[in-house]
Amino acid sequence: MLWGFSEALDFYEEYTKNVTIDTEPPSQLNILLFGSSDPRHIIKTLAKSYKHGTKLHFYVLEGCPALVARQIILLSITLEPSHLLTLPHRTHLFMDIYGNTLIRSTSMGYMESKVNHLIKCVTDLEFNVKMQPIFDLTHLKFIERDCLESVFSFWRERDTNPFDIRTCWIQRLRQTHRDRFDARQGAYDWDHQMRLKDNGAHQICSQEYKHWRETGVAFTFPEYRQSHANKTFALQPSKANAGDYVGDTTIGPFCGFGLSCHDQKLLKSNYGQNEYRATDISESNLIELFYEIQERTPPNPDTLALHKLGMTKIDTGKSFGGATADKTATQFNEKTDLKKFNEPLMSTNQVTVSFLPMSDAQSLVDGNKFIKKFDAVFVGRNYFPIVKKDFSNVFQSNALILFETAQMSTQRKPEIAEFLMKIRDMAKTMNLTPITNFNINLPLAVAKFSKRVTSSLLDQQQ
């Protein structure tokens, strides 16, 4: 729920490559992200937007306010002014909050400084337009904006709102492995070698995967220490409930940015060992994307200092939990002079992100709202089961429709094939034309379709 299981996509490129091959794209693309879980598609599309003049309007629908809050803070990190965050700092801050159960003191300091600003933005829409022009919160109801305020308040590092992520993580491990809990290290190795890598996630290294499965800390570097609970992992927090972790514990946050890159030398392996981890690939991709957002020009790879730790046996960083974390947090609050992150975000005139209320989910799948609104639609894996035939009413003529599959998972191949068949059957009932070649035996994380307008339909419309 906290991250997607497919790579970040540039929706402008996807649309022009698959739909408007022989025609000019429209002046504005309306894009629906239906349960994408994270802002990876927004970030990549935004990073490449300097190459064209088309306006891009994203509509984001998630299942709970905590996921909306996560997307807001991750996009805020992406768009903080360059004098407040250097490129490496921005990248590692994003990776920390995006994929680690325990985060560094500097990451906690950013959240501590940012929450008051975010609370004012969600409670004062005029202030939000001034400070965060990329975000459109007008679709959200008052109760949902109140929930966002509660989530941001919970993120403060206070003794009155603790979040014991380590205990939550161990409980999830016990629920997953049950009577084989003591033999879980063998299960990690099986899931990695026989499932994930076999399903196409070749870049994930054994060392980083096992460390994430055991601790929930995915992105590690030898020079960093994680000591604070990542409260963005707490879903449905309230005054009476410290929240719980109900996210993924078998795949990890590596799929969005860590499985491939345009520089093929970073994907090399020797005797089955990757030279670069999925963590290192994520670092490389994010640095390049953030550079393009900041500078509006292509990056020069030779100027980017990257880690290369795929074949190195490293100390994956020290993780402090329990009483140690509480003491560290108290000292942090008392002694650290927090840097202020309350300036307007970088200008994004081409891109707008509108968050939709959760009640719109039913209206969308029933085809009763946003009729023929969207030029491109992405449906996350967890949201596919609620999709109905009438959902096609929201598709614009010649729309691009992307369904996330179960390819990047620890499921068996027959289960993955069964899920893909369900997607194909649903697409057929919607009269969608497949873009993806299903006949080739390649890993397929996203199934692509289009809504073609035939000549007979055009005659009827005229």
3-state secondary structure of 143: helix
CA-based nearest residue to 9, from 38, 28, 456: 38
pLDDT confidence of residue 52: 93
Contact indicator for 35, 382 with CB cutoff of 8 Å = yes
pLDDT confidence of residue 96: 97
Phi and psi of 85, rounded to 5°? -135, 125
CA-based nearest residue to 344, from 131, 136, 134: 131
Distance CA 341, CA 79 (A): 11
Query: Domain residues of the chain, as ranges?
Result: 62-335
Q: What is the pLDDT along the chain (462 residues), one digit of tens a residue?
A: 799 999 999 999 999 999 876 677 789 999 999 999 999 999 999 999 999 999 999 999 999 999 999 999 999 999 999 999 999 999 999 999 999 999 999 999 999 999 999 999 999 999 999 999 999 999 999 999 999 999 999 998 776 778 899 999 999 999 999 999 999 999 999 999 999 999 999 999 999 999 999 999 999 988 788 889 999 999 766 554 556 888 899 999 999 999 999 888 888 888 778 889 999 999 999 999 999 999 999 987 665 556 666 555 555 544 544 433 444 444 444 434 567 899 999 989 999 999 999 999 999 999 999 999 999 999 999 999 999 999 999 999 899 999 999 999 999 999 999 999 999 999 999 999 999 988 777 889 999 999 875 444 434 433
Contacts of 439 (CB under 8 A, 6+ apart): none
CA-based nearest residue to 396, from 86, 6, 103, 26: 26
For the purposes of burial, counting CB atoms within 10 Å of the CB of 360, is it exposed (0-12), middle (13-18) or buried (19 or more)?
middle
pLDDT confidence of residue 258: 95
Distance CA 375, CA 396 (A): 5
Phi and psi of 31, rounded to 5°? -120, 125
